[in-house]
């Protein structure tokens, strides 16, 4: 065992050295004829929706806990919780029970008709964040952000929306207009009044103090100076993620959200926080903004709320909801207030509370971070380890002294990880090395975390020597 990983159990290390891998978690030796035929059919018929990305060379057959399996029985350790969503792991018994029961009892209704699961989930969410007691239940994160920004425009009378230049809020309308990390070119003009400011990046700071540390206060002031120069008098909202996941896992410094809320108050804007990936326990608290002791005007939830199933929510104050209603707020969609996903969301909240999974995320996240930092000490290509709880980022660089981005190295490590049985997502952004987004389920075991670290260590060694 490498000395830098001496804290890992010897039994865990043995599973990824040499030929002693478990039968189910084993290096890929090529696609089976059936999988190859399935992927050929996919190539003929499916739209490629990932920009320059490609489909993973794997055809999933089933998933359970922290693993996804193909038809041959090969298991891949899922360090992204599906699409950063399955916080309870795959096929959690509580979710299976709810879905099985609800699909044969009450699945979908006329959009103006309520059901007890919707009322129950609305009540549960409406008591989780002090002051945000009104709830709208939808399906996806983009849809929730659309509703939040539509409400902000109606309530304030403005139309201008400010976001971060590294943000991702969705691929539809207003959400896409507020997304700056990818997908802006070739689709025509974004919504009128779309603006962006840089998010504070401690690893690559734009403004620094005398000792070289990130000066986020000065950067925030500079950003809003630009906003004030660009606005035509219609500022409606600022939309932000507490941790910019697709933006490279950029964790906003403590105190930043308070300061951002003050800037919004001064200009009559609403602050919308998008906690699609940070909400429902992932960062070690129920919601990431709790660390800062502040409450936004509007909170959007998705991904983690449905634990992998399509469920989203918008939370806001009674005052904002009343003002929106008086002005005729309309967001009438096909699946608004659907009972089946609402029942799932209620089960998710119950499991997270009963099993104290937010606390587990803090403990497991500390273990994972320690392992990643020890890998950083061994591998020059790991420039930075950042994030909170079980949402961590690892930035890959050419070397730590220059911090030169090394996206090709990151991509190669990602491919090798998958070959060895670990699914890792890497984001590639301008002026930034490839950044691994590591977000295993909150139910992940210590042994599974250790296995993931060992596979990552081997993959880096194989790629960089």
Active-site residue set? 168, 241, 274, 277, 303, 437
CA quadruple 137, 138, 140, 145: dihedral sign = negative
- Alpha-carbon gap, residue 458 to 449, rounded angstroms: 14
Q: Which residue has 């018929």 as its token pair?
A: 45
- Alpha-carbon gap, residue 392 to 436, rounded angstroms: 8
- Measured CA to CA in angstroms, residue 121 lies from 32, 175, 280, 314, 442 at distances of 44, 25, 14, 12, 21
Identify whether the C-beta of residue 133 lies closer than 8 Å to the C-beta of residue 127.
yes
CA quadruple 84, 85, 88, 92: dihedral sign = negative
Q: Which residue has 């220059």 as its token pair?
A: 402
Bridge-based pairing state of the strands 312-316 and 134-138:
antiparallel
- Alpha-carbon gap, residue 53 to 51, rounded angstroms: 5
Identify whether the C-beta of residue 437 lies closer than 8 Å to the C-beta of residue 393.
yes
């Amino acid at each position: 065992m490498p000395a830098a990983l001496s804290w890992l159990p010897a039994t865990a290390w043995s599973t990824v050295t040499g030929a002693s891998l478990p039968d189910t978690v084993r290096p890929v030796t090529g696609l089976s004829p059936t999988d190859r035929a399935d992927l050929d059919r996919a190539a003929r018929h499916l739209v490629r929706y990932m920009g320059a990305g490609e489909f993973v060379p794997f055809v999933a057959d089933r998933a359970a806990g922290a693993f996804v399996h193909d038809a041959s029985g090969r298991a891949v350790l899922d360090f992204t919780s599906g699409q950063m969503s399955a916080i309870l792991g795959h096929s959690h018994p509580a979710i299976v029970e709810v879905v099985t029961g609800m699909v044969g009892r009450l699945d979908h209704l006329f959009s103006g008709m309520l059901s007890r699961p919707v009322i129950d989930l609305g009540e549960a969410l409406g008591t989780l964040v002090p002051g945000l007691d009104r709830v709208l239940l939808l399906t996806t994160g983009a849809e929730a952000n659309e509703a939040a920004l539509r409400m902000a425009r109606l309530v304030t009378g403005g139309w201008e929306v400010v976001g971060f230049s590294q943000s991702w809020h969705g691929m539809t309308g207003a959400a896409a207009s507020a997304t700056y990390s990818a997908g802006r070119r070739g689709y025509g003009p974004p919504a009128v009044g779309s603006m962006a400011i840089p998010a504070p990046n401690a690893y690559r700071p734009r403004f620094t103090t005398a000792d070289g540390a990130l000066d986020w206060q000065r950067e925030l002031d500079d950003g809003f100076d630009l906003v004030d120069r660009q606005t035509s008098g219609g500022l409606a909202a600022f939309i932000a993620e507490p941790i910019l996941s697709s933006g490279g896992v950029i964790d906003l410094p403590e105190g930043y959200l308070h300061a951002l809320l003050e800037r919004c108050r001064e200009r009559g804007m609403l602050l919308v926080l998008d906690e699609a990936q940070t909400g429902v326990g992932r960062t070690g608290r129920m919601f990431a903004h709790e660390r800062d002791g502040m409450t936004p005007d509007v909170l959007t939830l998705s991904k983690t709320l449905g634990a992998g199933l399509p469920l989203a929510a918008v939370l806001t104050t009674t005052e904002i909801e009343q003002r929106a209603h008086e002005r005729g707020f309309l967001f009438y969609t096909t699946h608004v207030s659907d009972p089946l996903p609402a029942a799932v969301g209620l089960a998710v909240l119950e499991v997270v509370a009963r099993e104290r999974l937010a606390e587990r995320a803090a403990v497991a996240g500390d273990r994972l971070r320690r392992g990643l930092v020890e890998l950083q000490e061994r591998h020059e290509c790991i420039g930075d380890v950042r994030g909170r709880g079980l949402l961590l980022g690892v930035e890959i660089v050419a070397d730590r002294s220059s911090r030169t981005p090394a996206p090709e190295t990151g991509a190669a490590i990602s491919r090798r990880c998958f070959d060895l049985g670990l699914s890792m997502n890497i984001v590639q952004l301008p002026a930034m090395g490839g950044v691994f987004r590591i977000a295993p389920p909150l139910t992940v075991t210590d042994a599974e975390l250790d296995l993931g670290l060992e596979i990552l260590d081997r993959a880096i060694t194989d790629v960089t020597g």
